[in-house]
Chain A
Amino acid sequence: MYPELGQFALILALMLAVLLSVVPLAGTVTGRDHLQAFARPLSAGLFVFIALAFGILTYAFLIDDFSVAYVANNSNSLLPWYYKFSAVWGGHEGSLLLWILMLAGWTLAVAVFSRRLPAVMIAQVLAVMGMITVGFLLFIILTSNPFDRMLPNVPADGADLNPLLQDFGLIVHPPMLYMGYVGFSVAFAFAIAALMNGRLDAAWARWSRPWTTVAWAFLSLGIALGSWWAYYELGWGGWWFWDPVENASLLPWLSGTALMHSLAVTEKRGVFKSWTVLLAIVTFSLSLLGTFLVRSGVLTSVHAFASDPERGTFLLALLAITVVSSLVLYAFRAPVVHVRARYGSLSREIFLLLNNVLLVAATLLVMIGTLYPLVLDYLDMGRLSIGEPFFNTTFSPLAVATGLLLGAGIFSRWKKTDGGWLGRKLLWPLAVSLVATSAVMVVYGGFKPWAFAGCFAAVWVSVATFWDLWDKSASRKGRWHGLRRQSRSYYGMVLGHLGLAITMAGATVVSNYGIERDVRMSPGDTAMVGDYQVEFIEIGDRRGRNFTAQYGTFHVTLDGEPVSVLHPEKRQYLVQRNVMTEAGIDGGLFRDVFVAVGERISDDAWAIRLQYKPLVRWLWLGSLFMAAGGFLAIADRRYRVRDKVVAPAAASTVPPRGDTAEAMS
């Protein structure tokens, strides 16, 4: 009986979402305050019912209720409880429900944390969020009901969760990613609300900024978790495949990064307004595009659970409605906005503009590479694939250019920067970076042009960041006082840029100096990978809770000193009968040694993959820095000012308190 309650809760939530998208808007049009005031309680109610539905589905998983088709298809009584829990979003219907739960959560968060906003604005923002929720609730209720039953023939046991997904990475990766995807809906809603009442001002930018930053931080974490998961769980040590599904998450990240920076200019200087609004619309549309690509079955991959054309059509329609209606609104309202502030041709504004150009170019590149084969295939013009080299050759120069500009941009000032002054300012950081990069080249033994460019960009960004921090923290009362005087949003920026540098360094070094060897080994054999010697000791059988495995033992030594003992496995899962490779990894801050067992070649010989991966952890460490920076930035004092903020006209010429760093420039 209770699964039907879940569906009932979803239908009630749909009713509330419809009310939420209509009533407050009607209130703003007719000027009736009491109608606008419905926005907050409706958001809360919406969240309660969606949470109820999600709770009921989780309950069905935890008690192994295989009468629910979705549970029967994605769970099994042998699964440990935590995988039963994460299996809730291990399939199409459940992950969509999680998406909607996140959306309702963000809506509620906006309702709760936006007390300072004018009532009209909050009514409009929440109404837009309500509209998005209506679309997705309709989608789940009409095409992907997670509460469908298999009655009266209830299966004795479930078909099990795909073994690839039985992993800690999967417990956390989708929720983080969805927090990011869905979080951009808030920036989108703010942009639409601003367009509706024609008030694209600094106050609007200030309100959208923290929401955008949080969503971006979650998305960074989600992407990094996915990459980390692919690295150790897909078994072969790759960390980014330029797979369309990965690209689908990278697209909103790239344009979201552009949006974050453009919002900063709009808030500080009151320029780029139309551009910022457009970016907000584009970023959320790319989130929707990502959802469409992954969920519609257009792509076949681990992520594409279902391939029901009806679902694809529905999602495409949702995407089209969102994009077209918001662009139409944009076309009618954006030209109303006038730019008042002036800025010179060498200024922080220009650097941030260039940052946006590069990021948008990168977004376009990834989009072309991802969609081109799909479009051709759809038009029946042949099947082709665009390989990794395409993305590597086009993306890397843009990434390096972004890094180089970023280093210079850190020193630049709002309005006008003197070229000669900037040149002198950059001289020393430039020299330090060149020396440091050369040292890195020597350590890793060998100069390679792209490795040099990538490392230089990374070193340059971090040197410039620290240099700037040193400059800014100069104070008569001592260094410590100067450091403490900097705002949290400034430190957020420092962390974010350092994170980018760390990720760039990791990506460059591991792709240029990593070693990968496939060898044939029998127990007793040794092989070298880099400076490490790997000895194959033995391989035997092991039984896990829901799998059997061939369990290898390898000794890793460096110059005769033991480093670690690795146990790569080949698992065969009992229910779905598929084979999974579990790599043995000795992880470290500066290098990973990676052993994976391939197929059995003869009675005593195995194909073994050995890898030496320098700085591979930096890839994910950098994204932790970036996310931490994002969270730190929104903890800034100016977002928590108690007094009622009256929307200042056009450009905010007076920077708020607690923003010394940026105000100084």
Chain B
Amino acid sequence: MHPIRKKRLIIVLFLLAGIAVAVGLTTYALRQNINLFYDPSQIVAGEAPVDVRIRAGGMVEEGSVLRDPESLKVEFKVTDFNSSVLVEYTGILPDLFAEGQGVVAMGRMTDNGRFVADQVLAKHDENYMPPEVAEALERASGGKHKAVDGNSTGAGY
């Protein structure tokens, strides 16, 4: 083969190899690490898979936060004002976590319908509502809560 052609072939092969490795790694890792979002109504309806890492979110129900006096374990209910789900978490809650605030939790559903969270997110700004939560509330209320959050009208919608 002509040396220049050969060189080009080598370059192209390298590039293809690189791309193949990248695509392989990506699909492998993507398959394991996609976390789907479920709102409380979907979870209560049994749509969320058991023992798969998912995200759940809604408002922290007023008066539902229960603390274990001996450890860092805490329980609270997350609601979309239609249904609510019991969330169990051990660890430090974020600064902006409060009853009546929107939160998103990462974790797994158990067989008995509890959500065991390993991470609870409440964002940096008290006016901020996680877009998923805003959407879930809107769905649950049939659009009545539309004005609940001025911040979520991002270009992402």
Residues of A within 8 A of B (CB): 162, 164, 235-236, 296-302, 304, 307, 309, 311-313, 316, 339, 342-343, 345, 353-354, 357-358, 360-361, 364-365, 368-369, 372, 374, 377-378, 382-387, 389-390, 393-394, 397-398, 518-520, 570, 576-581, 596, 598-599, 601-602, 607, 609
Q: Closest CB of chain A to B139's CB: distance in Å? A: 12
Instruction: Given contact pairs A360-B18, A599-B92, enumerate 13 new A-B contacts (beta carbons under 8 Å).
Output: A164-B124, A297-B156, A298-B156, A300-B128, A307-B152, A353-B11, A386-B35, A390-B33, A393-B25, A397-B25, A518-B91, A599-B93, A602-B67
* Distance in angstroms between the alpha carbons of A596 and B91 in the assembled complex: 13
Determine whether the beta carbon of A345 is less than 8 Å from that of B154.
no
> With the chains together, A236 CA to B131 CA distance in Å?
24
Instruction: Given the known inter-chain contacts A353-B11, A383-B132, A581-B95, please indicate yes or no for A300 contacting B29, CB distance below 8 A.
Output: no
User: Which one of A309, A353, A394 contacts B29 once the chains associate, using CB atoms below 8 Å?
Assistant: A394
> Contact: A607 with B154, CB < 8 Å?
no
When chains A and B are docked, how far (Å) is the Cα of A313 from the Cα of B154? Answer: 11
B10 sits at the interface (CB 8 A): yes
Complex Cα distance, B72 from A609, in Å, reads 11
Residues of A within 8 A of B64 (CB): none
- Decide yes or no: A357 and B154 within 8 Å by CB, A518-B92, A607-B72 being known contacts: no
Q: Contact between A298 and B11 (Cβ–Cβ < 8 Å)? A: no
Asked if B67 contacts A601 (CB within 8 A), the reply is: yes
Contact B55 A297 (CB under 8 A): no
A7 vs B19: C-alpha distance in the bound complex, in angstroms? Answer: 48
Residues of A within 8 A of B90 (CB): 518
Hey, which chain A residues are within 8 Å of B35, CB to CB?
384-387
| Residue in B17, B30, B130, B152 whose beta carbon sits within 8 Å of that of A386 in the complex | B30
Shortest CB distance A605–B (Å): 8
Report the minimal beta-carbon distance from B35 to chain A, rounded to whole angstroms. Answer: 5
In Å, the complex CA distance between A368 and B23 comes to 10
Which single member of B95, B153, B156 contacts A374 (CB below 8 Å)?
B156
- How many Å lie between the Cα of A150 and that of B128 in the bound state? 24
> B150 CB to closest chain A CB, in angstroms?
9
The bracket for how many chain B residues form the interface is 35 or more
Interface presence of B155 (CB below 8 A): yes
Q: Chain B residues near A345 (CB, 8 Å)?
A: 7, 10
Cβ B72 vs Cβ A518 within 8 A: yes
Q: Least Cβ distance of B123 to chain A in Å?
A: 7
Instruction: Take A302-B124, A520-B72, A599-B93 as given contacts and tell me if A309 and B34 are in contact as well, using a CB distance cutoff of 8 Å.
Output: no
By a CB distance below 8 angstroms, the chain A residues around B36 are: 382-384
> In angstroms, how far is the closest chain B Cβ from the Cβ of A15?
30
Give per-residue flags for B46-70: 1 if the beta carbon is below 8 A from chain A beta carbons, else 0: 0000000101000000000001011
- Taking a contact as CB atoms closer than 8 A, the residue among A299, A383, A580 that contacts B95 in the complex is A580
A390–B95 CB distance below 8 A: no
* Chain B residue at smallest Cβ distance from A271: B7
**Cβ distance A76 to chain B, nearest Cβ, rounded Å:** 16
Contact B95 A578 (CB under 8 A): yes
Contact with B155, one of A297, A383, A519, A598 (Cβ below 8 angstroms): A297
- A357 and B14 form a contact (CB under 8 A): yes
Q: Does B142 contact A (CB under 8 A)?
A: no
CB of A519 within 8 A of CB of B72, answer yes
Cβ of B151 under 8 Å from chain A:
yes
* Closest A residue, CB atoms, query B24: A394
- Beta-carbon nearest neighbor of B71 in chain A: A520
List residues of B whose CB falls within 8 A of some A CB.
3-4, 7, 10-11, 14-15, 17-19, 21-22, 25-26, 28-30, 32-37, 53, 55, 67, 69-72, 90-93, 95-97, 106, 123-126, 128, 130-132, 135, 151-157
B33 to chain A, nearest CB (A): 4
Neighbouring A residues of B17 by C-beta, 8 Å:
357
Give A357's nearest chain B residue, CB to CB: B18
Chain A hits for B97, CB < 8 A? 599
The A contact surface, by secondary structure, is mixed
Q: Check A384 against B37 for contact (C-beta < 8 Å).
A: yes
Are the C-beta atoms of B131 and A300 separated by less than 8 Å? yes
* Distance, CA A162 to CA B124, complexed state (A): 9
By the criterion CB–CB under 8 Å, are A357 and B15 in contact?
yes
User: Which B residues are in CB contact (< 8 Å) with A372?
Assistant: 30
> In whole angstroms, what is the CA distance A304 to B97 when docked?
21
A162 to chain B minimum Cβ distance, whole angstroms, is: 7
Given contacts A360-B18, A390-B30, A607-B72, contact A313 B95 (CB under 8 A): no
Residue in chain B with minimal CB distance to A605:
B69
B22 to chain A, nearest CB (A): 4
Q: How far is the CB of B136 from chain A (nearest CB, A)?
A: 10
B55 / chain A contacts, CB cutoff of 8 Å: 384-385
Cα–Cα distance between A580 and B124 once the two chains are bound (Å):
9
A579 and B154 contacting across the interface, CB-CB below 8 Å: no
* B156 pairs with A377, CB closer than 8 A: yes
- Verify A389–B33 contact, CB threshold 8 A: yes
- Chain B residues near A394: list those with CB within 8 A: 22, 25-26, 29
Chain B residues whose CB sits within 8 angstroms of the CB of A301 once the complex forms: 123-124
CA distance A450 to B98 in the complex (A): 39
Known A-B contacts A298-B155, A353-B11; the reply to A389 vs B29 at CB < 8 A is yes
A592 to B29, CA, bound (A): 32
Contact present for A365 and B25 (CB under 8 Å): yes
Q: Quick one: which of A357, A579, A596, A609 has the most chain B CB within 10 A?
A: A357
Give chain A residues whose Cβ lies under 8 Å from the Cβ of B96.
Answer: 578-579
Point out the residues of chain B lying under 8 angstroms from A378, CB to CB: 156
Q: Given known contacts A384-B34, A599-B93, is B14 in contact with A162 (CB within 8 Å)? A: no
Do B37 and A383 touch across chains, with their CB atoms under 8 A apart?
yes
The docked-state distance in angstroms from the alpha carbon of A293 to that of B33 is: 22
CA distance A385 to B125 in the complex (A): 20
Given contacts A298-B155, A298-B156, A307-B154, contact A361 B30 (CB under 8 A): no
Whether B25 pairs with A578 at a CB distance below 8 angstroms is no
Cβ of A602: which chain B residues have Cβ within 8 Å of it? 67, 69
Which residues of chain A come closer than 8 Å to B11, judged between CB atoms?
A: 353
Question: A353 CA to B13 CA in the complex, in Å?
Answer: 12
B21 shortest CB reach to chain A, Å? 7
| Pairs across A and B, CB under 8 Å, 6 listed | A298-B154, A300-B151, A353-B14, A357-B14, A389-B29, A393-B29
Min CB distance A299 to B, Å, is: 8
List the B side residues contacting A577 at CB < 8 Å: 126
Determine whether the beta carbon of A162 is less than 8 Å from that of B92: no
What is the chain B residue whose CB lies nearest that of A607?
A: B92
